[in-house]
Amino acid sequence: DTAVSQTPKYLVTQMGNDKSIKCEQNLGHDTMYWYKQDSKKFLKIMFSYNNKELIINETVPNRFSPKSPDKAHLNLHINSLELGDSAVYFCASSRGLAYGELFFGEGSRLTVL
Amino acid sequence: AQTVTQSQPEMSVQEAETVTLSCTYDTSESDYYLFWYKQPPSRQMILVIRQEAYKQQNATENRFSVNFQKAAKSFSLKISDSQLGDAAMYFCAYRETSGSRLTFGEGTQLTVNP
């Protein structure tokens, strides 16, 4: 059983399209995250939710909208995709806001043409 | 804001040898967590080792150990008896105990030569 799973793993789309990435964790964790890894492999936090409540909202274009229907799921919707949105997007979870390590999904590679 | 710096973009080591990856961080907090994550070509982020700042003893996980120097804000990773499967990008990361953000360094690409 995969602890943190993301779908799709790969996504190729045209500029201007809208796409979503889904994330689910079966660890019973309270806190979930979205991270973006750019072409230089740098990892930067985008959003964090704790028990479905938005805790961290970094300087991310408002074309990116996270949604947490319950504490086991955190989805990322991206409107009007741009070339610069091409990256690997990682979902992660942790037991709570201040508990130890994050557990990561396998990442979703988004390519915008 | 907390920052994490890995000054070695690339490192290489011979199989069975020992290598040390460097990491420094900047914080005004006294209690926090430090981690090393490994990212092989498969892209998966794998936790290698963790250290709580309040613990003076350096963490060890099999062939992986850290040298945690709190006053110097330094957190290096030592890999002993390097194996081909250790080849990966290694990220140092910092997390406050009072917040949820995990901040990463830029990464060190480790090559293991047979």
Q: What is the pLDDT of residues A60-104, one digit of tens each?
A: 899 999 999 999 999 999 999 999 999 999 999 998 877 788 999
Whether B36 contacts B66, CB under 8 Å: yes
**What whole-number distance in Å separates Cα of residue A85 and Cα of residue A64?**
10
Residues of B in Cβ contact (< 8 Å) with A107: 43-45
pLDDT bucket at B90, cuts 50 / 70 / 90? very high
CA dihedral B61, B63, B64, B67 (to 10 degrees): 100
Nearest-by-Cβ selection for B44 from A102, A106, A109: A106
**What whole-number distance in Å separates Cα of residue A82 and Cα of residue A80?**
7
Q: What is the pLDDT of residues A44-62, one digit of tens each?
A: 999 999 988 998 888 889 9
Residues of B in Cβ contact (< 8 Å) with A25: none
**What whole-number distance in Å separates Cα of residue B26 and Cα of residue A7?**
35
Identity of the amino acid at A21 = I
| Three-point CA angle A8, A10, A11, nearest 5° | 90
